[in-house]
């Protein structure tokens, strides 16, 4: 078994060592142009040249949950070489922590208390009612479901919206374009956990954000291209949106001088809501490679990507 590793912006050596330890009978090598043909690929944002050369692949394993960088490329026939993403590997609990923190920080007005403390002011705010702050989760995959369950533990009303109909215990679910307006109209805190596809790009724009309940709050932990930056700024300035916590951006790192950096109602974090945990990810990828190599049906693997849908 020969495995090619091609991951940009990733320190390769720990991954190579971990994959080799998890798959002791395999040959695990860092890909370079002209390398020998591999049976399986472990990738993150590889160049098109990788797939142009690697014509014998039996499976492509992405070291993250998002595959938007892959679906832009010409990939092998999915029936011969399925693309498989991480379906959790320790990311869902991190995402739940991050989103719960952002929701509670806004709901309890801890950001306002922090500003008062910086001015050495001792202040008091009337407690808010959770029933007035329904949280809407856009995207009910593995991460979205985990976030939904975590928020429900704090007694927030939780809504969910997905492309196709889903049922999540304790969550009022909406689906499809027909359900989007009703979902937005029932939401005061909007959390984006959608995959990035042509259908979801710029989904958080003026026309959709205006449908949220007045004083809405935005949390984007999916992809920067889901949000139209100028529309968010205008709606914050108008008062319809109270503020935002943003972990992802159209250009990363966020450029110096971008207005998000200095806006008093926007909290910025450096794409850190849910980081790939290497050991957990290696164990998951190795297990799936072994299953595929043994002849397991593609449909039996968790995380197989539908390239037509983009997730």
Catalytic residue set = 223, 271
**pLDDT tens for residues 99-151?**
999 999 999 999 999 999 999 999 999 999 999 999 999 999 999 999 999 99
Residue 252: pLDDT band with limits 50, 70, 90: very high
| Cβ atoms of 66 and 27 closer than 8 Å | no
**Shared domain check, 283 and 203:** no
- CA 16 – CA 24 distance, rounded (Å): 11
Structural domain includes residue 260: yes
Q: Is residue 309 part of a domain?
A: no
Number of separate domains in the chain: 2
Distances (CA, A) of 10 to 37, 63, 131, 278: 22, 10, 43, 11
Considering the domain architecture, whether residues 215 and 283 belong to the same structural domain is answered as: no
- The per-residue pLDDT for range 286-310, each reduced to its tens digit, is 999 999 999 999 999 999 999 989 8
- The pair of structure tokens assigned to 57 is 């692949």
Spatial separation of the C-alpha atoms in residues 180 and 163, rounded to whole Å: 9
**Whether residue 216 is found in the same domain as residue 190:** yes
Q: Are residues 123 and 188 part of one domain?
A: yes
What distance in Å separates the CA atoms of residue 116 and residue 113, rounded to the nearest whole number?
Answer: 5
pLDDT bucket at 26, cuts 50 / 70 / 90: very high
Q: Are residues 134 and 146 in the same domain?
A: yes
Domain CATH code at residue 236 = 3.40.50.720
pLDDT at residue number 212: 98
**What value does the mean pLDDT take over residues 182-208?**
97
Cβ-contact 97, 234 below 8 angstroms: no
Assigned domain for 283 exists: yes
Q: What is the per-residue pLDDT across 237-248, written as a single tens digit (0 to 9) for each? A: 999 999 999 999
Q: Give all strands (DSSP E) within the chain, no chain letters.
A: 2-7, 27-30, 40-44, 59-62, 83-84, 135-138, 158-162, 172-175, 189-192, 216-220, 241-246, 266-268
- What is the per-residue pLDDT for 47? 97
| Whether 51 and 140 share a structural domain | no
Q: Is residue 308 part of a domain?
A: no
First-to-last CA distance in the chain?
27
Average pLDDT over residues 254-275: 97
C-beta of residue 190 within 8 angstroms of C-beta of residue 212? yes
CB contact set of 126 (below 8 Å; sequence gap of 6+): none
Residues 45 and 68 in one domain: yes
User: Could you give phi then psi for residue 226, rounded to 5 degrees?
Assistant: -70, -25
| Helix H or strand E encompassing 305 | none
Same domain, 140 and 194: yes
Q: Is residue 310 part of a domain?
A: no
Q: Which long-range contacts (CB under 8 A, 24 or more apart) does 103-108 make?
A: 103/133, 103/135, 103/151, 103/154, 103/156, 103/189, 103/191, 103/217, 103/219, 104/154, 105/245, 105/267, 106/189, 106/217, 106/242, 106/243, 106/245, 107/133, 107/156, 107/189
Identify whether 169 is part of a domain.
yes
Contact, 51 vs 271, CB < 8 A? no
Mean pLDDT of 137-166: 96
Asked if 62 and 95 sit in the same domain, the reply is no
Residue 35 has what pLDDT?
97
The pLDDT confidence band at residue 88, using thresholds 50, 70 and 90, is confident
Q: What is the predicted pLDDT for the residue at 89?
A: 82
Are 151 and 124 in contact, with CB atoms under 8 Å apart? Answer: no
Domain span at 280: 2-89+276-300
Do residues 52 and 61 lie in contact, with contact meaning Cβ atoms separated by under 8 Å?
A: no
Angstrom distance (rounded) from CA 29 to CA 24:
13
Q: Is the pLDDT of residue 31 over 90?
A: yes
Name every residue whose Cβ is closer than 8 Å to that of residue 94 and which is 6 or more positions away in sequence: 273, 274, 275
Predicted confidence (pLDDT) per residue in 51-70, tens digit: 999 999 999 999 998 999 99
Residues 257 and 154 in one domain: yes
**Residues 255 and 134 occupy one common structural domain:** yes
Whether 147 is covered by a domain: the verdict is: yes
pTM of the model: 0.93
């Amino acid at each position: 078994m020969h495995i090619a590793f091609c991951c940009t912006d990733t320190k390769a050596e720990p991954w190579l060592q971990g994959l080799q330890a998890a798959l002791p009978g395999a040959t695990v090598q860092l890909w370079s142009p002209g390398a020998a043909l591999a049976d399986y690929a472990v990738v993150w944002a590889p160049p098109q040249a990788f797939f142009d050369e690697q014509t014998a692949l039996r499976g492509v394993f992405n070291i993250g949950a998002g595959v938007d960088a892959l679906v832009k490329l010409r990939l092998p026939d999915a029936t011969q070489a399925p693309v498989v993403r991480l379906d959790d590997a320790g990311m869902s609990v991190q995402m739940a922590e991050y989103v719960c923190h952002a929701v509670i920080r806004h709901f309890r007005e801890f950001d306002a208390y922090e500003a008062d403390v910086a001015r050495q002011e001792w202040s008091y705010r009337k407690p808010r009612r959770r029933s007035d702050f329904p949280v809407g989760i856009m995207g009910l995959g593995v991460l979205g479901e985990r976030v939904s369950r975590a928020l429900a533990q704090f007694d927030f009303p939780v809504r969910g919206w997905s492309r196709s109909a889903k049922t999540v215990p304790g969550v009022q679910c909406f689906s499809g374009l027909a359900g989007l307006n009703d979902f937005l109209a029932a939401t005061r805190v909007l959390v984006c956990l959608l995959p990035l596809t042509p259908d979801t790009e710029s989904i958080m724009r003026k026309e959709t954000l205006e449908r949220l309940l007045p004083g809405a709050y935005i949390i984007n932990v999916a992809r920067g291209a889901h949000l139209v930056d100028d529309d968010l700024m205008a709606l914050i300035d108008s008062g319809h949106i109270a503020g935002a916590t943003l972990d992802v951006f159209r250009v990363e790192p966020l450029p110096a001088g971008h207005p998000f950096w200095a806006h008093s109602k926007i909290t910025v974090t450096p794409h850190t809501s849910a980081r790939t945990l290497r050991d957990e990810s290696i164990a998951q990828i190795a297990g799936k490679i072994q299953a595929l190599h043994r002849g397991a049906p593609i449909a039996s693997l968790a995380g197989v990507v539908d390239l037509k849908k983009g997730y």
